[in-house]
Amino acid sequence: MTKENLKICCIGAGYVGGPTCAVIAYKCPTVTVTIVDLNEDRIAAWNSDNLPIYEPGLDDVVFACRGRNLFFSSEVDQAIQEADLIFVSVNTPTKKSGIGAGFAADLAYVESATRRIAQVATSSKIVIEKSTVPCRTAESMRAILEANSRDGIRFDILSNPEFLAEGTAIPDLMYPDRVLIGSLQTPEGIKAQNVLADVYANWVPKEKIITMGLWSSELSKLAANALLAQRISSINALSAICEATGADVDEVAYACGLDSRIGPKFLKASVGFGGSCFQKDILNLVYLSESLHLPEVAEYWKQVVTMNEYQKSRFLERIVKRLFNTLTNKNLAVFGFAFKKNTGDTRESAAITLVKHFIQEKANIHIYDPKVEDAQIEMDLCEPGIATPEQYKKSVTIFHDPYEAAKNADAIVVLTEWDEFKTLDYQRVYNNMHKPAFIFDGRLFLDTKKLQNIGFQVEVIGRQV
């Protein structure tokens, strides 16, 4: 393989594999990138005008190179055979049953993708672990590949964790803080590391491409997410103190963030963090710590998730209390269902937990989100343990217009910080609501004074109003 005619295959056309490998194709016109997935509908969507993922800037990147050096296909075996480098970007959900249920990552998809590579490869490959995985997954991948390798075929394993955040994936990929590549520190491992480093060097400054051992690289991914989530849980814990004392959590965060040792980012209090990574990665870390017989370490990290759950239940209790201790038959407009703005992703969204409780409290729930698909909302809320399809039908209505969602509502509960919620005509919203009209700002981003002047009863996380 030469630098010019390198062929890359990405297994898994999801939130990670899709944008990451599309940007590689965009930045490396001489490299051929084929993204494959078993899910044919998903591949069809990637080949259509309506991409399966909403991500600002993604359309431009895909449309610029699709059909040129970027291809989406469900011919997994062929793409594996042709590739020099294979990214494994399949899903790794938290296990729902068996050993480690609720904590450990389910590696069945990683294993099956790895076995497929071993089975069909007819030449040597560099296999890159891209999915978020527990420490030492690369070791299992290596064992499977080595046990199945045939004469003259060599597999080198790299860990190349993804640090993109949804909603800003394209800028995160174009201008990363760092690119991390882990490998076995053998001459072959380092050679493989250099091949991947050369791909990134097409657009990432050399000093930002960091190489290290496999285990450090795998643990760094879990550690980075755990540290970020820990900051949010820390500020959320402080938000409870603020509500009880009259301090303002935004002011506290501002004051603390000016200390250059602390810094201002990831100190925004909220109804709780969501997303596919934070909780999963922390639970992985907890599981790892327990397996290593480090119970105090496990307990320490577990507390970050406990605090996140507490934040959601505290907000729920505040809503019930302010609505005269009952939600029965009240109309609640839920603004935002995605786990953060600028994404249609709902994985671990605080909205799922909140709406589950609203259903249990027998409220009528009107949901509006600018990007989340109706079918996704229904799927999330009809999961076992959330609501039955009958309860869902009885309690939940989806709207495509925020004014309609808020019509005849007793309260608006803002759960995602979509920009458009800041600029709604709240006088118009207010006029069509039941009185007293409440707004619960779970993102601390609306203009409280303005809303109060209109007549709203406003409740904000981390602040007495």
Catalytic residue positions, numbered: 277
39 binds, among ligand ADP, ligand UDX, none (CB under 5 to 8 A by kind): ligand ADP
270 binds, among ligand ADP, ligand UDX, none (CB under 5 to 8 A by kind): ligand UDX
Q: Which two tokens stand for residue 286?
A: 């907890």
Cβ–Cβ contacts within 10 Å for residue 317, how many? 11
What is the nearest approach in angstroms of ligand UDX to the Cβ of residue 259?
16
Out of 80, 90, 307, 381, point to the residue binding ligand ADP (CB under 6 A).
Answer: 90
Q: Which is nearer to ligand ADP, 113 or 179 (CB)?
A: 113
183 binds, among ligand UDX, ligand ADP, none (CB under 5 to 8 A by kind): none
102: three-class secondary structure by DSSP: coil
φ, ψ dihedrals at 274, nearest 5°: -130, -155
Residue 279 annotated in ligand binding? yes
273 binds, among ligand ADP, ligand UDX, none (CB under 5 to 8 A by kind): ligand UDX
Residue 163 annotated in ligand binding? yes
- The single residue listed with the structure tokens 């803080």 is 177
Q: What is the DSSP letter of 398?
A: E
Q: Verify binding: residue 276, ligand ADP, rule CB under 6 A.
A: yes
Q: Give the interface with ligand UDX as residue ranges (CB under 6 A).
A: 162-166, 225, 228, 232, 266-268, 270, 273-275, 277-278, 339-340
Q: Verify binding: residue 16, ligand ADP, rule CB under 6 A.
A: yes
Residues 45-84 that bind ligand ADP (CB under 6 A): 76
Residue 277 annotated in ligand binding? yes
Q: Which is nearer to ligand ADP, 13 or 286 (CB)?
A: 13
Stretch that binds ligand ADP, among 111-119, 220-228, 415-423, 446-454 (CB under 6 A): 111-119
228 binds, among ligand UDX, ligand ADP, none (CB under 5 to 8 A by kind): ligand UDX
Q: Verify binding: residue 464, ligand ADP, rule CB under 6 A.
A: no
Residue 168 annotated in ligand binding? no
Out of 10, 35, 42, 308, point to the residue binding ligand ADP (CB under 6 A).
Answer: 42
What is the nearest approach in angstroms of ligand ADP to the Cβ of residue 100?
19
Q: What is the DSSP letter of 463?
A: B
What is the nearest approach in angstroms of ligand UDX to the Cβ of residue 133?
13
Residue 91 annotated in ligand binding? yes
Out of 91, 137, 331, 353, point to the residue binding ligand ADP (CB under 6 A).
Answer: 91
Q: Verify binding: residue 112, ligand ADP, rule CB under 6 A.
A: yes
End-to-end CA distance of the chain: 64
CA distances to 55, 258, 302, 308 from 237, rounded to whole Å, are: 31, 19, 14, 9
The rounded distance, in Å, linking the Cα atoms of 54 and 92 is 21
Q: Verify binding: residue 95, ligand ADP, rule CB under 6 A.
A: no
Residue 17 annotated in ligand binding? yes
Residue 405 annotated in ligand binding? no
28 binds, among ligand UDX, ligand ADP, none (CB under 5 to 8 A by kind): none
Q: How many CA atoms lie within 13 A of 247 on its CB side?
A: 15
| Residues near 256 by beta carbon (within 8 Å), at least 6 away in sequence | 262, 267
The rounded distance, in Å, linking the Cα atoms of 101 and 95 is 5
On the question of a cis peptide bond just before residue 176, with omega within 30 degrees of 0, the verdict is no
φ, ψ dihedrals at 90, nearest 5°: -90, 170
- The helix or strand, by DSSP H or E, that contains position 33, with its residue range, turns out to be strand 32-36
The rounded distance, in Å, linking the Cα atoms of 462 and 126 is 49
- Candidates 444, 266, 415; CA nearest to 354 is 415
What is the nearest approach in angstroms of ligand UDX to the Cβ of residue 85?
20
38 binds, among ligand ADP, ligand UDX, none (CB under 5 to 8 A by kind): ligand ADP
Q: Which two tokens stand for residue 382?
A: 């009809």
| Residues near 190 by beta carbon (within 8 Å), at least 6 away in sequence | 183, 211
- Candidates 304, 343, 157, 296; CA nearest to 223 is 304
165 binds, among ligand UDX, ligand ADP, none (CB under 5 to 8 A by kind): ligand UDX
| Residues near 107 by beta carbon (within 8 Å), at least 6 away in sequence | 92, 133, 134, 137, 140
Residue 278 annotated in ligand binding? yes
Rg (CA), the chain: 24
What is the nearest approach in angstroms of ligand ADP to the Cβ of residue 255?
36
Residue with nearest beta carbon to ligand UDX: 275
Residue 142 annotated in ligand binding? no
CA distances to 8, 25, 86 from 158, rounded to whole Å, are: 14, 19, 10
Stretch that binds ligand ADP, among 7-15, 64-72, 201-209, 244-252 (CB under 6 A): 7-15
| Residues near 204 by beta carbon (within 8 Å), at least 6 away in sequence | 176, 179
Q: What is the DSSP string of 61-96?
A: HHHHHBTTTEEEES-HHHHHHH-SEEEE----PBPS
Annotated binding-site residues for substrate read 162-166, 221-225, 261, 268-274, 339-340, 443
Which residue ranges make up the site for ligand ADP (CB under 6 A)? 11-17, 36-39, 42, 76, 89-91, 109, 112-113, 116, 131, 276
Annotated binding-site residues for NAD(+) read 12-17, 37, 42, 90-94, 131-132, 166, 277-280, 347
